[in-house]
Structure 1
Amino acid sequence: MNFINGPCGYFNMIVITSRSSSIPIVFRRQLSALTTLPLTLSQTNKNGQKHDPPSKINSPPPLGRLRASVVSPESTHFVDSYLTHSFFSDELKISAKNGFLSRGRQLHAHIVKLGYYNVLALQNQLLHVYVKCKVYYDACRLFDEMLVRNVVTWNTLICGAAHCGRSFKSNLNLGFCYFKRMLSEMVGPDCVTFTSLLHTCIELYDIEIGRQVHCFIMKFGLCRDCFVSSALVDLYAKFGLVGDARRIFDNILDRDLVSWNVMVYCYALNCLVRDAFGLFNLMRLEGIKEDDFTCTNLLNSAAIYGSCELGRQIHGLVIKLSFDLDVAVSSALVDMYAKNELIVDARKTFDGMLSRNVISWTTMIVGYGRVGDGKEAIKLIREMFRGDTGPDELTLASVLRSCGNSSSITEISQVHAYAMKDGFDAILSTANSLINAYSKSGNITMALDCFSSIANPDLVSWTSMIGAYAFNGLSIEGIELFERMLAYNMMPDPVAFLGVLSACSHGGLVYEGLHYFSLMTKIYHITPTIEHYTCLIDLLGRAGLLDEAFNLLTSMPVEPGPDVLGAFIGACKVHGNAGLAKWAAEKLFALEPSNPVNYTLMSNIYASEGCWLDVARIRKMMRDRCIYKVPGCSWTEIAGEVHTFVSSDKSHPRASEVYALSELLVRSMEEEDYVPNEDFTFDHV
């Protein structure tokens, strides 16, 4: 009697070699579950020595062939466990990798039927299939039924729970529950265990649990392990604890390239660009050669810092090392140039890419959206449609953001049609982007249709629709939707309150605005930001309550910014209070001395009061401090084409027709004895 030794350990199957025959007989409770394997059987001699088959099958047979190979005990009593085990192992790996749950269940059934149920290696692979398919109930059942477990078994479940995503928060906590059971059963955790737990802490966004895991790591003597230490650096980096991350990094005895890259990533993530490049220089001094991941992190740093010169230097290094052939590095280059608003250089880099993926296309499209070039963004996505790469939800959301900024309803409708065709409109991110795009183009009906089509709207969906109502002046509808959101037990966040306060401000609903501001601070205990105070001051100012607005402005716990002061000055202009406007303007000039809009606003206030000397003084200040005043523009869409106009603009091809119609309207107004309201008319400063 002996055990069959397979490729992944000893099988829990008893084999008795018959004296009269060299064929081993495998005894199970159900003898009908025996199989034969044609022409490739292993030979066993009388001494029990096993000889390998003459040829090895390179690819596993399909599942149907395994079923066809099941025969009755009368035809044979032999099972080649090695090939059967290899078949199950290969098929389980494929099922786990591709998320084939139904195939995994079929394999599970065959494993039980053929008597391999207690083989630990196959049980671990079955567990991995259920975990990868996010069927945690079945995974836990299988785990509890296992008679023998090793550290791989525990790690499979803990690691699977760690990578389930933030939408499965209960499953994230499941990882720690099994870690406690693991310790109680005296199973020693290893590096994989702790890296999975650290990833869980990041997903849970809980640094306190992360510190406790760090203590366990030190207790088990793994604090100097390069693999675990890199995961610790990543943990502290994502919580902004750069000092703690650097201390972990400095204590690593034998740093590899991954350790250096994670520390560079830490600095880049926390916008410490100089430290990132300083560490890169130190890395090169110690003889560590950079890779594509290093260059990607440095390019991201240059993009965040807004340093085109640093980015160009890294670009030169990328070309020297031939990393520009890597799609991820080239996409990072495009992103760096786009964030520095060098859209021409970004497009040159994009056009020079030998191969592109959906991230490359999306990065370039986002770059056009960043500079407000919706037309080029649409051209690029049309080119993307003609290629082999299809857009994903992020690409569509980026295009919709660009279309919304340019108010192109035709282009929004085209993107919407594509989203519906490929089912992207059911994805929340795309649906929310459609709401924003339609609202910015003034089509509130389509925005509401997109909102109503969402089966389970999240907080972003509600907030987007409330903001859409506020943006289009439908204050009552915005407030009603906010109340409806509360009735659905949806917990509002600061952005949701900002939307409803904006709705109250646009509608002049002072009582309602004060009510929601009090609700936010006293009931939901949300600390108001500068944006909330801006809405409230604008609300009071529009209603003519300048003294109340001034008291709120001077008693704010945060320093008033340009938006707050600008809103207050605008209210003072409407209600003719030049004294308070002058007080706010002095603060505004100190905050933004080179912004010509501020001087224009104050000049118009003095002009409306007839204070021409003050008007001349403000104009001189603007000429001395401001280089150039960007003219305000208006635009309209006709037959799918967006037409843009500025004051006294004659560059449009049909400018003569526009001015002729304008004169006709002026004459009609004069005939009707219409007197225009000049309170909101700005001088041409």
Structure 2
Amino acid sequence: MYSKCRFVREARKVFDDMASKDLAVWNIMLSCYLLNDYKREAFNLFHSMRTEGFIGDGFTFSSLINFCSRMICYDLGIQTHCLIIKLALESDLVVGSSLVDMYAKCAVIKDARHVFDRMDNKNVVCWNTIIVGYGKCGEGKEALMLFNNMLRGGLKPDGLTLASILSTCANLASSNEATQVHGYVVKNGFQAYLSIGNALIIAYAKCGSIDNSARAFSLIPSPDCVTWSSMISSYAHHGLAMEAINKFEVMLHEGIKPNRITFLAVISACSHAGFVDAGVHYFSTMIKNYQIKPSSEHFACLIDLLSRAGYLDEASDVLSSMPFEPDASVLGALIGACNVHRNAKLAEWVSEKLFYLEPRKLVNYALLSNIYVAEGHWENVLYLRRRMKQMCSLKIPGCSWIEIGGKVHTFVSHDRIHLQDQEIYCMLDTVIWSMRNRYYICDTITDYICRFPDTSCSLVLHD
């Protein structure tokens, strides 16, 4: 009782007053320390427990591993794992699942997979743990393969499995897999799960199908704040600002109280559409009517909203009035607008702060360099180039991808692997020629391509 009420001292007093203690009592006291993040006391108690002759069981070690997982204590987790192996407890389902979860949260997915593969009898919880782990570590393809293996093994996924797989499909922008998982959801009666409905909304939106995203939203009988926020974010992601604002207003009319994520989505939508008055209004409403303290993400959105519309002085005032030191995301929003509106003085001031926070991030130097190029300040450009070479490592080529007919094609710079690279370059040249003749292009890289049409763009499609 004291443990669950978080009265740690009272729990320890009762524990110390007990004349005899069995393993269950030691486990409860250990769990009390671990749940309340008393790391030193917990492991001192564990040492005393072993000194008293109690080796520990699955509950003991799963509690220790879960603590390491929650606190991302990789080194301590490895030591505990060694003891688990020594005591032959690795085959325990609860302990094994805890180990998989710990390694996945510590971003050591290979070790998580090694533990998973050594487990003899895996239940749904074990499969969920490894699938979620791969998804969070950015290994979406492997997560999908494991999901297929789980189905072939005759195990039925639960709501957590399906929500995790849908999130993976969203991150991969894999519409074919998302549709198949949706079919499984309908066939097996999982439509009522809010977590799955929310994941479907995001998955379809990230796969480019906002209509299916809206349809998935309409099928949820009682959407909560997360559901509404997911739909508003989806509209904002697709640049449909009016739809996002209308959905937000309907949400308020339905009596659903928005949270910080909801406001972040609607302000972001206003930013992309240039609705300055609406965005400022929602930012003010968030503070005054709902007592939500704006985070750095909210300030970044507001600064982006003002600076995109050309209100650089107002954006700078917001930056100066923030109740905490601006982070890189806030400063990045402002310097991006300085690049668009060619405000070299403000860009220099913001850049110095960015160089201090992120001295090795290439894009910070590139944005200021582009402004200097547009202003014709070539000496400053050369100085920045030298500074970039000293501070920044080799840039990793950027990539994006598109799914056509169930097959994913990836765009990578400086690559001619794709079998249709000649057709791709031909089409790219046609698009660039059309842009040059129809529009005024202010971006320095595009200007360079337009001035020298024989220079092929380095962005190509390959398998």
**Number of the residue aligned with 1:360:** 126
Alignment partner, residue 222 of structure 2:
456
Partner of residue 549, structure 1:
315
Aligned partner of 1:536: which letter?
L
CA distance in 1 between counterparts of 2:86 and 2:76 reads 15
What CA distance in whole angstroms lies between the structure 1 residues aligned with 2:447 and 2:64? 46
Q: Encode CA deviations 1:542-566: one digit per residue, 9 max, x unaligned.
A: 1111111111111111221111111
Which among 155, 161, 172 is matched to residue 406 of structure 1? Answer: 172
**In 1, Cα distance between the equivalents of 2:130 and 2:60?**
22
Flag the structure with higher helix content: 2
CA RMSD of aligned residues (A): 2.6
Would you say 1:662 and 2:432 are equivalent positions? no
Name the structure 2 match of 1:296: 62
In structure 1, how many angstroms separate the alpha carbons of the residues matched to 2:67 and 2:164?
22
1:249 matched to 2:25: no
1:676 aligns with 2:441: yes
1:518-553 Cα deviation digits (max 9, x unpaired): 212122222222222111111111111111111111
Measured in 2, the distance between the counterparts of 1:621 and 1:273 equals 44
More moved, 278-287 vs 477-486: 278-287
Q: Give the 5 Å matches for 1:248-647.
A: 248-253=11-16, 254=18, 256-266=22-32, 268-269=34-35, 276-647=42-413
Q: Is contact 2:276–2:309 with CA below 8 Å preserved after alignment?
A: yes
Task: Letter of the 1:234 partner, please give it.
Answer: K
Shift of 1:495: 1.8
CA contact (8 A) 1:273 1:302 kept: no
Q: Which amino acid aligns with 2:269?
A: A
**Aligned equivalents of 2:266 and 2:421: distance in 1?**
41
* Deviation digits for residues 284-312 of structure 1 (CA, Å, limit 9, x no counterpart): 34544222222223223333443433322
In the TM superposition, residue 412 of structure 1 has moved relative to its aligned partner by: 0.7
Q: Distance in 2 between matches of 1:679 and 1:469?
A: 31
Matches within 5 A, 1:42-57: none
Uncovered stretches (5+) of structure 2, i.e. residues with no partner: 449-457, 459-463
Structure 1 position 276, deviation (Å): 4.5
Asked if the contact 1:597–1:629 (Cα under 8 Å) also holds between the matched residues in 2, the reply is no
Alignment map for 1:156-305 (pairs within 5 Å): 231-236=1-6, 244-246=7-9, 248-253=11-16, 254=18, 256-266=22-32, 268-269=34-35, 276-305=42-71
1:113-163 superposed Cα distances (whole Å, 9 cap, x missing partner):
xxxxxxxxxxxxxxxxxxxxxxxxxxxxxxxxxxxxxxxxxxxxxxxxxxx
Give the 3 Å change call, closer, same or farther, for CA 663–328 of structure 1 in structure 2: same
Distance 1:515 1:655, change over 3 A: same
- Aligned CA distance change for structure 1 residues 567 and 352 (closer, same or farther; 3 Å): same
Residue 269 of structure 1 and its aligned partner are, at CA, apart by 4.5
Give SS of 1:646's match: strand
Q: Which one-letter code corresponds to 2:12 in the other structure?
A: F
Q: Secondary structure at the match of 2:3?
A: helix
Question: Is the CA contact (8 Å cut-off) linking 2:15 and 2:29 kept in structure 1?
Answer: no
Partner of 2:461: none
Would the alpha carbon gap of residues 583 and 259 (structure 1) be closer, same or farther in structure 2, given more than 3 Å must change? farther
Deviates more, 1:333-342 or 1:505-514: 333-342
Q: Deviations over 1:591-643 (max 9, x none)?
A: 23343333333333333333333334334444444445333221111111222
1:569–1:299: structure 2 CA closer, same or farther, 3 Å change rule? same
Which whole-Å CA distance do the structure 2 matches of 1:596 and 1:264 have between them? 48
Q: TM-score, normalised by structure 1?
A: 0.61
CA gap 1:328/1:599 in 2 versus in 1, 3 angstroms: farther
Change (3 A) 1:613 1:275: farther
Change in 2 beyond 3 A, CA 1:625/1:252: farther
Against the structure 1 CA distance between its residues 314 and 657, is the aligned structure 2 distance closer, same or farther, given a 3 Å change threshold?
A: farther
Change (3 A) 1:557 1:347: same
Cα 1:307–1:540, aligned 2, differ >3 Å: closer, same or farther? Answer: same
- Supply the distance in 1 between the matched residues of 2:383 and 2:58 (Cα, whole angstroms): 56
Segment drifting more, 385-394 vs 341-350:
341-350
Which residue is equivalent to 1:130?
none
Paired letter, 1:570: G
Contact preservation (8 Å) 1:334, 1:350: yes
1:575–1:650 CA distance, 2 compared to 1 (3 A): same
Distance 1:621 1:285 in 2: 59
Q: TM-score, normalized by length of structure 2?
A: 0.88
- 2:28 and 2:247 map into 1 onto residues whose CA distance is 45
Deviations 1:210-253 (A, max 9, x none): xxxxxxxxxxxxxxxxxxxxx312322xxxxxxx5245325522
- 1:651 positional shift: 4.2
Distance (whole Å) between structure 2 residues aligned to residue 607 and residue 275 of structure 1? 60
Which segment drifts farther, 261-270 or 324-333? 261-270
- Change in CA separation of 1:678 and 1:326 when aligned onto 2, cut-off 3 Å: same
Q: What is the aligned-residue identity percentage?
A: 49
Note closer, same or farther for the CA distance 1:627–1:321 as it changes in structure 2 (3 Å cut).
farther
1:285–1:373: structure 2 CA closer, same or farther, 3 Å change rule? Answer: same
Distance change (3 Å), C-alpha of 1:263 and 1:560: farther
Offset of 1:665 from its aligned partner? 3.6
Asked whether the 8 Å contact 1:393–1:429 carries over to 2, the reply is yes
Residues 537 and 283 of structure 1: is their aligned pair in 2 closer, same or farther, counting only changes over 3 Å? farther
Q: Which amino acid aligns with 2:204?
A: Y
What amino acid does structure 2 have at the position aligned with 1:610?
G
Taking a change above 3 Å as real, the CA distance of residues 616 and 332 of structure 1, as seen in their structure-2 partners, is farther
Distance 1:558 1:437 in 2: 34
Cα deviation for residue 572 of structure 1 reads 1.2
Letter paired with 2:8: A
Counterpart amino acid of residue 358 in structure 2: E
Deviation at 1:657, TM superposition (A): 4.2
Write the distance in 1 (CA, Å) between the matches of 2:148 and 2:263.
Answer: 38
Distance 1:537 1:543 in 2: 10
1:654 to partner: Cα distance: 4.4
Paired with 1:362 and 1:548, the residues of 2 have a C-alpha distance of 48
Query: Which structure has the larger Rg over C-alpha atoms?
Result: 1
